[in-house]
Amino acid sequence: MGKITGFLEFDRKVEEYAPVEDRIKNYKEFTLPMKEKELKDQGARCMDCGIPFCHSGCPLGNLIPDFNDAVYLGKWEKAAEILHSTNNFPEFTGRLCPAPCEEACVLGINEDPVSIENIEKNIVETAFKKGWVVAEPPESRTGKTVAVIGAGPAGLAAAQQLNRAGHLVTVFERDEKVGGLLRYGIPDFKMEKNIIDRRVDILKEEGITFKTGVHVGVDISATELKEQFDAIVLSGGATVRRGLPIEGADLKGVVQAMDFLKQNNKRVDGIKDLGEEIKATGKDVIVIGGGDTGSDCIGTSIRHGATSVSNFEILGKPPVGRPEGQPWPFWPMRLRTSTSHKEGVERFFSISTKKFVGDKDGNLTGLITSEVEWIREPGKRPTLKEVPGTEKKWKCELALLAMGFTGSEMTVAEQLGLEADARTNIKASEADYKTNVPGVFVAGDQRRGQSLIVWAISEGRQAAHHVDTFLMGKSCLPLKGEGDLPRV
Ligand SMILES: Cc1cc2nc3c(=O)[nH]c(=O)nc-3n(C[C@H](O)[C@H](O)[C@H](O)COP(=O)(O)OP(=O)(O)OC[C@H]3O[C@@H](n4cnc5c(N)ncnc54)[C@H](O)[C@@H]3O)c2cc1C
Ligand code: SF4
């Protein structure tokens, strides 16, 4: 621990944001850099706890007190080494993670927690700036081959780990560019796409082959891949979107959030041929769904120049602080306000959309809602009840459905004969990531269902260890939280 009194001397500080009126004019990231002294002070706030609960909060088991201390001491290269020992892509999590580590931070019991995520981002950005993030190809090759299907964070992490173990890795991705939801879901204002490109360049230099524009199961059968490769990692994500099958759902203007976001990310990338344009410009927009996807639709609609943006959430409004029954260090279901929420949206809770309304040409003109209440009885699942007399009509020309994903696509699974659960998550235990078919592994959202980037990276790393063991009989690839580095 660098500074014993650090947590008493310094208040929590994180990067500030450019003013709303400036940042909504473009799709660039809008955080304002912090000075090195400020970052060191933030590192000094870490108490180097005897039992660092931040570790257990982090799905990667990041060695948080160690890198906090290194930052406090100004040992940035050491900090980058510690960070990369448990996380392949801290530049993604440092920008996008909801930071369960901070909710578990001991300092958070009676103070603001250590600004772990912000420290993480600044370590990795310093490392890129200084040229410390370089390709590390394996010293020798094993002669074994692995196919990774899907190039989201889970697939990329698995690929890098397996390549490090000396296997020849080929990543198949059906989209034109790699990154999965990082590329085509998350808008540039949350993470500019050159952040993915610079990392993928390193992966290519390390010897990983990327085959983009190849839809496994359609362009090439999964059984063919099974014959060609010694092992397969499935990391295709949870891509089946939840619909809203109510009257008027087929009207022009009722759009799936992912169609809207993906098209916009491609537009920002300079791609011209986008098919029918989906824009919020000059429209009253209603985003249905209060999660990350909904929030990204809000920020994007505001940048399009929507007349108004409203956000509906069927669940009740959660409390700002920790709810009763979800004490520290657990992840609390509390009200989260994103940067997009602060850009000009009205949020409504406990509201259910009953019907979309259109004109004679089939264009959406509005929708009808009711307020709902949740009935909770001990030992029973909560049920939803409409509040009588609360029906309301809203003007709306664009309704964005951001209600999450129900599971994964089954084509590849069916071709390989894989077992799935009732939600179409491919079955494999967290103990070894093995499916029911020998040599086929699964990681990320395709195994655990719709989740987080940090979990995808964690699962990709864990699965890689087990694939390596399957191929070689043993593995030196680290498991969760296994740092092989000396303390600072
Ligand atoms: C709009 C949105 C915003 C989000 N924001 C955040 C956030 O801020 N923070 C956070 O932590 N999480 C966020 N998430 C969740 C996070 O993005 C996912 O949990 C994570 O990307 C899952 O990683 P993955 O690698 O398992 O799958 P994905 O990222 O979904 O990648 C799967 C890849 O597999 C490809 N693929 C699928 N099938 C095939 C096939 N048969 N052949 C070839 N390729 C195939 C797909 O094209 C895709 O590129 C967000 C999700 C969405 C939708
Ligand atoms: S729990 Fe918080 S204060 Fe304790 S070691 Fe982790 S980051 Fe530092």
Q: Name the residue among 323, 303, 201, 220 with its Cα closest to residue 261.
A: 303
pLDDT of residue 449: 97
DSSP tag of 34:
P
The Cα–Cα gap between 260 and 274 comes to: 11
For the whole prediction, is pTM greater than 0.85? yes
Alpha-carbon Rg for the chain in angstroms: 23
Ordered domains of the chain (ranges, CATH)? 6-130 (1.10.1060.10), 145-239+405-472 (3.50.50.60), 243-401 (3.50.50.60)
Number of H helices, E strands in the chain: 18, 18
| Interval between CA 13 and ligand 2 midpoint (Å) | 15
Site to substitute for ligand 1 among 96, 170, 186, most atoms within 8 A of C-beta: 186
352 is written with which tokens? 């259910």
The Cα–Cα gap between 302 and 344 comes to: 7
**Packing angle between helix 64-72 and helix 76-84, nearest 10 degrees?**
170
The neighbour count for residue 246, using CB atoms within 10 Å, is 14
pLDDT of residue 376: 87
Using a 6 Å CB cutoff, which residues line ligand 1? 96-97, 149-155, 172-175, 180-182, 185-186, 215-217, 235-237, 239, 261, 292-293, 296, 412, 444-446, 451-454, 456
pLDDT of residue 472 exceeding 50, the answer is: yes
Question: pLDDT by residue (tens digit) across 160-194?
Answer: 999 999 999 999 999 999 999 999 999 999 999 99
The Cα–Cα gap between 51 and 465 comes to: 26
The Cα–Cα gap between 297 and 303 comes to: 10
Say if residues 169 and 156 touch (Cβ distance below 8 Å).
Answer: no
Percent of the chain with pLDDT over 70: 98
pLDDT of residue 343 exceeding 70, the answer is: yes
Q: From the CA of 236, which ligand is nearest?
A: 1
pLDDT band for position 486 (cuts 50, 70, 90):
very low
| Interval between CA 72 and ligand 2 midpoint (Å) | 13
Q: Residues 235-248: what's their mean pLDDT?
A: 97
H-helix segments, 26-180: 36-44, 53-57, 64-72, 76-84, 90-96, 100-104, 116-130, 153-164
Say if residues 97 and 454 touch (Cβ distance below 8 Å).
Answer: yes
Question: pLDDT by residue (tens digit) across 17-76?
Answer: 999 999 999 999 999 999 999 999 999 999 999 999 998 899 999 999 999 999 999 999
Say if residues 412 and 216 touch (Cβ distance below 8 Å).
Answer: yes
> For the chain, how are helix, strand and coil distributed in percent, rounded to 5?
35, 20, 50
pLDDT of residue 119: 98
Q: From the CA of 64, which ligand is nearest?
A: 2
238 is written with which tokens? 């949870």
The Cα–Cα gap between 387 and 338 comes to: 29
The Cα–Cα gap between 231 and 214 comes to: 18
Cα dihedral 419, 420, 422, 425, rounded to 10, equals: 170
pLDDT of residue 382: 87
pLDDT band for position 483 (cuts 50, 70, 90):
low
- Dump the DSSP string for 200-216: HHHHHHTT-EEEET--B
pLDDT of residue 488 exceeding 50, the answer is: no
pLDDT of residue 2: 65
The backbone torsions φ and ψ at residue 447, rounded to the nearest 5 degrees and listed phi first, read -100, -50
Mean pLDDT of the chain: 96
Using a 6 Å CB cutoff, which residues line ligand 2? 46-49, 52-54, 64-65, 68, 105-107, 114, 116
Q: From the CA of 116, which ligand is nearest?
A: 2
Residue with tokens 């260090």: 329
List, as own/partner pairs, every contact residues 449-453 make where C-beta atoms lie below 8 angstroms and the sequence separation is at least 24, other chains included.
Answer: 449/238, 449/405, 449/407, 449/423, 449/425, 450/238, 450/404, 450/405, 451/238, 452/59, 452/97, 452/98, 453/92, 453/93, 453/96, 453/97, 453/153, 453/182
The backbone torsions φ and ψ at residue 53, rounded to the nearest 5 degrees and listed phi first, read -65, -20
Q: Residues 331-347: what's their mean pLDDT?
A: 96
Collapsing DSSP states into helix, strand and coil, what is residue 392? strand
Q: Name the residue among 72, 17, 75 with its Cα closest to residue 47.
A: 72
Q: Which atom of ligand 1 is nearest to the CA of 450?
A: 19
Nearest-CA residue for ligand 2 atom 8 is: 46
pLDDT of residue 241 exceeding 90, the answer is: yes
Percent of the chain with pLDDT over 90: 94
Question: pLDDT by residue (tens digit) across 84-130?
Answer: 999 999 999 999 999 999 999 999 999 999 999 999 999 999 999 99
Q: Residues 423-443: what's their mean pLDDT?
A: 97
The Cα–Cα gap between 438 and 231 comes to: 8
Q: From the CA of 51, which ligand is nearest?
A: 2
